[in-house]
Copies of this chain bind each other. A is one copy, B any other.
Amino acid sequence: MQLDQGQLERFDKEGYLFLPNTFTADEVGVLRRRADAIFTMDREEVWRESSGVARTAFAAHKYDEGFRRLGAHPRLVEPVMQLLDGPVYMHQFKINAKAAFDGEVWQWHQDFGTWHRDDEMPEPRAMNIALFLDEVSAVNGPLMFIPGSHKGGTLQAGHDLATTSYPLWTLSRDEVTRLANEGGCVAPTGAPGSVIMFHGNLVHASPPNISPFPRTIVYLSLCHVDNHIRAFKRKEWIAHRDFTPIAPLPDDCLAELVKQERQAA
């Protein structure tokens, strides 16, 4: 899977691309069921909201066959290899639950800000590509971007240890307001199976989910292998230390798993 010239130009200008209908309902279904099972697991990689429901499950590609395949899926890995111009490794892998009623805020931040400050990743030659496992709409805490905000480099940030259960380097309100007055603020919404990819310096956030519907998104944070992290302060399952280039699997790797599960059922 390769991005075309128009998509490359749009990514350069806006800092993100939204790709609806990238995975089928069957492919999403097999992952959705596995995500629910993972959220109930009592393991350190499953981070919880203050209410106790799952907020983020890290590194599921290491302990679940469905997410192992997703972590090397060509529809996710190849567009990022194209944009970063070379082989990539998995810096972080997470399933963000944003549970019905309880899913809490992610304050305004740049991911590279955290990767650089906490993990000493040298340059923003790393980015997220994310898959919607639920429909994302205006009601269930959609991801919000400030288009073009990746152009200003890595902005000053404060270490927010108070707002939620997860530490994050967050931007000031003045900075967010200034950027949004220039670039606006968008929340791409769409069906399960949609994919969104965004620059490591794109400013983003997501509001709480007060709706009765969950909003699960899987994030692959992929980094050029030359640009691997230098510091190992965070847990290995939050900021991986295995810099082996990902070899993309065949395009039908998830469809194959769907078939196997059907035969076993």
Contact = CB atoms under 8 A, between A and B. Distances in A.
Contact of A205 (B108, B137, B185, B210): B210
A210 B207 contact: yes
A139 interface: yes
Given A139-B144, A142-B138, A185 B207 contact: no
A245 interface: no
A100 B180 CA distance: 12
A181 B213 CA distance: 9
Given A207-B207, A207-B208, A139 B213 contact: no
Interface string A31-51: 000000000000000000000
Nearest to A177: B212
A1 to B, nearest CB: 27
A12 to B, nearest CB: 23
A201 interface: no
A139 B209 CA distance: 12
Nearest to A209: B207
A247 interface: no
B210 A139 contact: no
A22 interface: no
Interface string A120-155: 000000000000000001111110100000000000
Nearest to A173: B101
A262 B108 CA distance: 40
Contacts of A173: 101, 212
A137 B212 contact: no
Contacts of A180: 211-213
- The 3 A-B pairs at the shortest CB distance, nearest first, are namely A138-B138, A138-B187, A177-B212
